[in-house]
Homo-oligomer: A and B are copies of this chain.
Amino acid sequence: MKFTDLETPALLLDRHRLNANLARMHDKASAHGVALRPHMKTAKSADIARLATVGQPGGITVSTLKEAAYFIAHGFADITYAVGIAVGKLDRVAALQQDGARVTVLTDNVDVARGIAARAEATGARFDVLIEVDTGDHRAGVAPDSSTLMEIAAILDRAAGIDLRGVLTHAGHSYDCRSIEDLAAVAEAERAGAVLAAERLRAAGMACPVVSVGSTPTAVHARDLSGVSEIRPGVYMFNDVFQASIGACTLADVAVSVLATVTGHHPERGEILIDAGGLALSKDRSTAAGPHDVGYGWVIGPDGTALPELQVVRVSQEHGVVAAAPGAGALPLAALPPGTHIRVLPNHACMTAAAYDCYHVVEGGEVVATWPRINGW
């Protein structure tokens, strides 16, 4: 099938770009002697997880327990749930582990650590746990040099039924960087903080085999991964306009796009209407903070070719308004009559992909596969 025969809006995945993105990160991990534990929060697809773990140990990262259940059902047995656990979710974790899979959980909280220990003792369940370390993102995690780190570690280390596996950090503040040097510096802070935390645990007699770091920008630009055991990037599989804007990829590496149809012309306002709006593109505006704001997405031709720069400048639920970027000249109305297909490169692939239940995998102008993805909790 030609992808222009798809109902719109539809989510396209360029197979060549996906494969190139996967290969690049695989090679990066290999070059540094670390495992790649890809974060499946972006793709949420078993087909893509299989491709992303080729030549790797096979462990993956997830952002919800629904993802964990889905990937276990598709044969993945080593899963890190990289969002702080709530004690009330531990029974579901235990149930997921009943057929032999391991779902490693994390916390940055003394009370939660006590709660995990208590739940293991009360139910006889076993839990693998990582301590989340804050290496500058200031979202979650304890400071690597804090007493809280050692307090949590002591609770987990002495509890029956708990395997304290190590430490995990996510340098989400790499998203605030605006140069490659900045990204490399954040990557080094991420590495150094995680390694410091691990060394403190080891000095206290804990084995700490896992030293887990990762965000796509830091994984791409890290120059040294000494002491790290694994990296956990996710969005690198698809990339997006925001990743390109901070130098984590180029626009030519963006593998996902939304196929849309022109539904109307408003030349009096220099605007074209498309059938992809706030739900089809997401309301993510991450490029707004950077030097090149692309609105709700960067518009390209149906075959992936560039157009004079067009942006989705406004959205409502199912409407997108396309206009020329500032300074980009006139809108090519004659080239885009109603019924024409265009593609939109998203600001943030994780948010955009979440509106769809499948990927239409394209090679040239053909849909060569349809891969389901999951959503929700």
- Whether the Cβ atoms of A280 and B86 lie closer than 8 Å is no
* Segment 88-115 of A: residues with Cβ below 8 Å from B: 88-89, 92, 107-109, 111-112, 115
Q: Which residue of B lies closest to A273 (CB)?
A: B140
With a cutoff of 8 Å between Cβ atoms, the chain B residues found around residue A273 in the complex are: 84, 139-140
With a cutoff of 8 Å between Cβ atoms, the chain B residues found around residue A354 in the complex are: 279, 355
A166 at interface, CB cutoff 8 A: no
Which segment of A23-31, A46-54, A312-320 sits at the interface?
A312-320
The interface on chain A, measured as residues whose beta carbon lies within 8 A of the other chain's beta carbons, has a size of: 60
Given A140-B319, A355-B354, do A278 and B269 touch, yes or no (CB 8 Å)?
A: no
- Whether the Cβ atoms of B280 and A111 lie closer than 8 Å is no
* Segment 282-331 of A: residues with Cβ below 8 Å from B: 282-285, 314, 316-319, 321
- Whether the Cβ atoms of A377 and B9 lie closer than 8 Å is yes
- Whether the Cβ atoms of B109 and A377 lie closer than 8 Å is no
Q: What is the minimal beta-carbon distance from A30 to any residue of chain B, in angstroms?
A: 27
A19 at interface, CB cutoff 8 A: no
- Whether the Cβ atoms of B263 and A112 lie closer than 8 Å is yes
A375 at interface, CB cutoff 8 A: yes
- Whether the Cβ atoms of B350 and A317 lie closer than 8 Å is yes
With a cutoff of 8 Å between Cβ atoms, the chain B residues found around residue A314 in the complex are: 139
Given A63-B317, A318-B83, A350-B317, do A377 and B284 touch, yes or no (CB 8 Å)?
A: no
A149 at interface, CB cutoff 8 A: no
- Whether the Cβ atoms of B7 and A83 lie closer than 8 Å is no
Contact residue among B263, B321, B355, B376 (Cβ-Cβ distance under 8 Å from A83): B263
- Whether the Cβ atoms of B351 and A376 lie closer than 8 Å is no
- Whether the Cβ atoms of B275 and A284 lie closer than 8 Å is no
With a cutoff of 8 Å between Cβ atoms, the chain B residues found around residue A87 in the complex are: 338-339
With a cutoff of 8 Å between Cβ atoms, the chain B residues found around residue A111 in the complex are: 337-339
Contact residue among B7, B83, B269, B282 (Cβ-Cβ distance under 8 Å from A377): B7
Q: Which residue of B lies closest to A358 (CB)?
A: B376
With a cutoff of 8 Å between Cβ atoms, the chain B residues found around residue A338 in the complex are: 86-87, 109, 111-112, 115
Given A273-B139, A285-B283, do A109 and B316 touch, yes or no (CB 8 Å)?
A: no
- Whether the Cβ atoms of B339 and A88 lie closer than 8 Å is yes
Cα–Cα, bound, A317→B63 (Å): 8
With a cutoff of 8 Å between Cβ atoms, the chain B residues found around residue A83 in the complex are: 263, 275, 318-319
A255 at interface, CB cutoff 8 A: no
A261 at interface, CB cutoff 8 A: yes
With a cutoff of 8 Å between Cβ atoms, the chain B residues found around residue A285 in the complex are: 283, 285
Query: Could you list some 29 contacts between A and B, CB below 8 A?
Result: A7-B92, A10-B377, A63-B318, A83-B263, A84-B319, A86-B261, A86-B338, A86-B339, A87-B338, A88-B339, A89-B261, A109-B263, A109-B264, A109-B265, A109-B338, A112-B263, A112-B264, A138-B266, A139-B314, A140-B266, A140-B273, A172-B316, A278-B284, A282-B283, A283-B283, A285-B285, A317-B350, A357-B376, A375-B375
